[in-house]
Chains A and B, each alone.
Chain A
């Protein structure tokens, strides 16, 4: 294996954190828009996203592949087998997770916060500020979940990234490739790194959040 584990790890972190960030931002925007909708409609949209959480990543990978295939609708962009293709695919994988983990809290807190702001004689424009502060723990968890889902998926990275060493190889594809050629020792090492990243990030953010963000 010519590419170092560090290089693969950094690429994985870059690709998955970007995908999670885009998914997270869109989930906030969607939540803000849907929070104004009647409860029934909002619940319906939430139900759709909850169903999408369980879609296999290989199916999402296939969908993105069809989009980016040279003869596909976005083929002219020549993104297939690039890190950007993985970002697009992982964004689709992470979006339902980010949205479903934040929306219910968004919806339920919104009305209480609005009531509070008005009761203190303030205008509704202050609602967003208070709401975002109230939602900080939920938003942190939501980003973490999106990131974990993105960095831990294999289907998209393999189908639209191709696991090209030195270019699109990420932790999960590296594990798959190493296992397939019988290099179990390296596969286990990379697996442990993946495990460390997801658990340590969660622990750090939780500790930091409880002391600073969530107080």
Chain B
């Protein structure tokens, strides 16, 4: 999936801009890493790339089509290829299992036991399956929201600070999965403060944001 941002500006309040004239192309499969200090605009950029917020100015071009120029049905159709995993996990009432299946249920897709079982085993979530989300730790909640995203097998997966609260072993497993998605033709965008070694090794490009602008782009 190719996403191009053309002169993208975004402001939440109409006065201060979180993004200032971003020109960026995520061309082809690979892992793209967004870094930068707090308040540099990483989350906003990630949400613009994930088609979740419409920028105040500029164009978001997805596979050659101006996304925000499409009608609601066409946007919904294209949005199905994109998943965004929040920095602070948003989980709904119910068990961890219910939350894992939520995306699939909403899309009316078949809940594949094999696929869910694979991730549950891989990330050691067996004991959490029936636990109400109110009783999950921060790291467990984070894992559930990440796996929920992985289960949807999107063409573009955006993750905001995915390594926060994760232990080293699970962070490495996640990097493996992200690399696997990229190898399978998917696009992964990760916003992070913490540059996991494995993530740097498998990334295609590291983009540094400072004060809403692209300060540096490094091909790796």
Counting CB contacts under 8 A, is B107 at the interface? yes
With known contacts A119-B85, A121-B83, A121-B107, A134–B93 Cβ distance under 8 A? yes
- CB under 8 Å from chain B, chain A span 89-118: 112-113, 115-118
Instruction: Report how far A120 CA is from B90 CA in the complex, Å.
Output: 11
Do B93 and A121 have beta carbons less than 8 Å apart?
no
With known contacts A126-B106, A130-B106, A215-B132, A121–B92 Cβ distance under 8 A? no
Q: Residues of A contacting B52 with CB < 8 Å?
A: 115, 118-119
Do A120 and B148 have beta carbons less than 8 Å apart?
yes
Among candidates B79, B132, B148, residue contacting A118 with C-beta atoms closer than 8 Å? B79
- B interface, over-half SS: mixed
Do B132 and A121 have beta carbons less than 8 Å apart?
no
Do A121 and B86 have beta carbons less than 8 Å apart?
no
Do A121 and B90 have beta carbons less than 8 Å apart?
no
With known contacts A115-B90, A126-B106, A121–B82 Cβ distance under 8 A? yes
Chain B interface size range = 20 to 34
Q: Residues of B contacting A115 with CB < 8 Å?
A: 52, 86, 90
With known contacts A133-B92, A133-B93, A215-B94, A120–B102 Cβ distance under 8 A? yes
Give the number of residue pairs across the A-B interface with Cβ within 8 Å.
65
Do B93 and A116 have beta carbons less than 8 Å apart?
no
- CB under 8 Å from chain A, chain B span 98-144: 102-103, 106-107, 132
Q: Among the interface residues B82, B92, B102, which one has the most CB atoms of the partner chain A within 10 A?
A: B92
Q: Among the interface residues A119, A122, A137, which one has the most CB atoms of the partner chain B within 10 A?
A: A119
* Minimum CB–CB distance for B46 against chain A, Å: 10
* Minimum CB–CB distance for B187 against chain A, Å: 14
Do A122 and B103 have beta carbons less than 8 Å apart?
yes
Residue of B nearest to A126 (CB): B106
Counting CB contacts under 8 A, is A167 at the interface? no
* Minimum CB–CB distance for A20 against chain B, Å: 24
Q: Residues of A contacting B86 with CB < 8 Å?
A: 115-116, 119
Counting CB contacts under 8 A, is A2 at the interface? no
With known contacts A133-B92, A215-B93, A119–B84 Cβ distance under 8 A? yes
Among candidates A113, A121, A215, residue contacting B79 with C-beta atoms closer than 8 Å? A121
Do A119 and B83 have beta carbons less than 8 Å apart?
yes
- Further 20 A-B residue pairs, CB within 8 A, beyond A119-B83, A120-B152: A115-B52, A115-B86, A118-B52, A118-B84, A119-B84, A119-B90, A119-B149, A120-B102, A120-B148, A121-B152, A122-B103, A122-B106, A123-B76, A126-B106, A130-B106, A134-B92, A134-B93, A137-B93, A215-B93, A215-B94
